């Protein structure tokens, strides 16, 4: 039996004899292209040359290998009998443990350096495969964006409730959360409002209303330490809000680079959530349009199938602007059409060579025209044709 042994330094072929002697191989140092092909289950030129040279003399022998897929390729290309079994795996383990003694002139230090170089080469190869299509960044960015939104909401509600004991009227006057926190950060104690200039944060009429409310406020007095802690919380809210805005811009740019057509169709947030839900852009491209339509509503779908009720018409795609701007009656139709066009856009982005968004812009224009037609069709039916049909008398033929 012959043994094909793979190392970071290259390939080695051993022959198993009764005396446990080693069949020497001349070429052990190979370029990194062959391990990359072996990683894919392909037969590289260098490995093919070695097998033809060495194994041709032992045509009647079986070739023991570790990768069954590579064995199938070797058998198909070179017509060699390959074997892969637990006994072969144990034999490989023994060779690996005794590799320093079996392969002369290859110390452990050099093997370690070669292993590191091979790992770097394979990693660089995988990254070079699609340098601009690293959709893992999108998955992490949209997850972080959702987490930031939850934390911001908790912090802002805590700030409003905390400062509301001191100045409860301010929360009713200022509805914008970020403007509220900036105002609290600048005001501090409500007695400072009269001499405070808030024109850089609030409009003139709201600023006047805040100053008037501070004079007749029903809030309780708080200590300077309380105000200091509230202001520190406001600093946190402002910093997180600024970082969230920066992260959103990053996500928008990344989506336009990786999936421009999908971004045009459903928006960067919905597109990023679809990619995150599927795991990657390529996995999302494998889904049919019907799955894209209800992606994110799996619980409702299985519950409907279990109880034999109507299945959901939309999932994450419901938050797309095209679905949101239509009437409730046409949401199902628009979501179905949008899912069909989005599925095409996803496949074009994942597998196409072009990086422009022309197809997405064209399909979105078609969907907008279709949406206008559906809306106008409903209006015409209510105003004209329906009443005309209602006034028509039934004709009966007399014999």
The token pair at 371 is 């949406």
Q: Which residues contact 245 (CB under 8 A, 6 or more apart)?
A: none
pLDDT of 340 > 70? The answer is yes
d(CA 256, CA 263): 6
CATH number of 137-250: 1.10.287.4070
Query: What mean pLDDT value characterizes the chain?
Result: 81
pLDDT number for residue 235:
94
Contact 311, 305 (CB under 8 A): yes
Quick: pLDDT tens for 250-308.
Answer: 999 999 999 999 999 999 999 999 999 998 898 999 999 999 999 988 888 889 888 98
Query: What percentage of the chain reaches a pLDDT higher than 70?
Result: 81
Domain boundaries, the chain: 2-129, 137-250, 259-390
pLDDT number for residue 71:
77
Q: Which residues contact 148 (CB under 8 A, 6 or more apart)?
A: 240, 243, 244, 247
Task: Give the residue from 302, 313, 259, 286 showing the smallest Cα distance to 142.
Answer: 259
pLDDT band at 380 (very low <50, low <70, confident <90, very high): low
pLDDT band at 24 (very low <50, low <70, confident <90, very high): very low
Q: Which residues contact 81 (CB under 8 A, 6 or more apart)?
A: 61, 62, 63, 75
pLDDT band at 63 (very low <50, low <70, confident <90, very high): confident
CATH number of 259-390: 1.10.246.90
What's CA 354's distance to the chain center, in Å? 20
Of 9-23, 161-175, 246-260, 291-305, which range is least confident? 9-23
| Mean pLDDT for the stretch of residues 139-150 | 94
Of 11-20, 154-163, 361-370, which range is least confident? 11-20
pLDDT of 34 > 80? The answer is no
Of 28-37, 45-54, 60-69, 350-359, which range is least confident? 28-37
pLDDT number for residue 278:
92
pLDDT of 244 > 90? The answer is yes
Higher pLDDT, 85 or 380: 85
Task: Give the residue from 333, 350, 339 showing the smallest Cα distance to 258.
Answer: 350
pLDDT of 346 > 90? The answer is yes
pLDDT number for residue 41:
58
Contact 35, 6 (CB under 8 A): yes
Taken in order 247, 253, 259, 260, the sign of the CA dihedral is positive
pLDDT number for residue 317:
92
CATH number of 2-129: 3.30.420.220
pLDDT number for residue 60:
67
pLDDT number for residue 59:
62
Of 181-185, 186-190, 245-249, 351-355, which range is least confident? 351-355
DSSP result, 88-133: HHHHHHHHHHTHHHHSTT--HHHHHHHHHHHHHHHHHHHHHH-TT-
Phi, psi of 6 (to 5 degrees): -105, 135
Higher pLDDT, 197 or 144: 144
pLDDT band at 107 (very low <50, low <70, confident <90, very high): confident
């Amino acid at each position: 039996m012959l043994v094909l042994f793979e190392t970071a330094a290259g390939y080695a072929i051993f022959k198993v004899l009764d005396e446990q002697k080693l069949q020497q191989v001349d070429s052990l140092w190979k370029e990194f292209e062959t391990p990359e092909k072996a990683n894919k289950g392909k037969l590289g030129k260098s490995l093919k040359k070695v097998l033809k040279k060495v194994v041709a003399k032992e045509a009647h022998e079986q070739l023991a290998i570790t990768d069954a897929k590579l064995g199938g390729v070797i058998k198909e290309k070179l017509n060699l009998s390959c074997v892969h079994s637990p006994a072969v795996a144990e034999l490989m383990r023994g060779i690996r443990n005794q590799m320093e003694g079996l392969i002369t002139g290859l110390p452990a230090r050099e093997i370690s350096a070669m292993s590191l170089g091979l790992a770097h080469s394979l990693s660089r190869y995988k990254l070079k495969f699609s340098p601009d299509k690293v959709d893992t960044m999108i998955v992490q960015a949209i997850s972080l964006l959702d987490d930031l939104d939850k934390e911001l909401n908790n912090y802002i509600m805590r700030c409003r409730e905390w400062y509301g004991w001191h100045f409860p009227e301010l929360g009713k006057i200022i509805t914008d959360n970020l403007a509220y926190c900036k105002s609290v950060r600048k005001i501090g104690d409500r007695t400072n409002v009269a001499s405070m200039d808030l024109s850089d944060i609030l409009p003139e009429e709201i600023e006047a209303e805040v100053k008037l409310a501070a004079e007749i406020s029903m809030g309780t007095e708080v200590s300077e330490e309380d105000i200091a802690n509230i202001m520190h919380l406001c600093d946190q809210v402002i910093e997180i809000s600024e970082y969230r805005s920066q992260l959103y811009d990053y996500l928008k740019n990344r989506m336009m680079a990786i999936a421009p057509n999908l971004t045009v169709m459903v928006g960067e947030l919905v597109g990023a959530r679809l990619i995150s839900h599927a795991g990657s852009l390529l996995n999302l491209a494998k889904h049919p349009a019907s799955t894209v339509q209800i992606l994110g509503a799996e619980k409702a779908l299985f519950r409907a199938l279990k109880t034999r009720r109507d299945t959901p018409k939309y999932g994450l795609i419901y938050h797309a602007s095209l679905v949101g701007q239509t009437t409730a009656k046409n949401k199902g139709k628009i979501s179905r059409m949008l899912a069909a066009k989005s599925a095409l856009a996803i496949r074009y982005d994942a597998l196409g060579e072009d990086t422009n968004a022309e197809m997405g812009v064209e399909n979105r224009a078609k969907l907008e025209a279709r949406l206008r037609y559906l809306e106008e069709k409903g209006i015409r039916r209510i105003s004209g044709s329906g009443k005309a049909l209602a006034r028509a008398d039934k004709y009966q033929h007399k014999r």
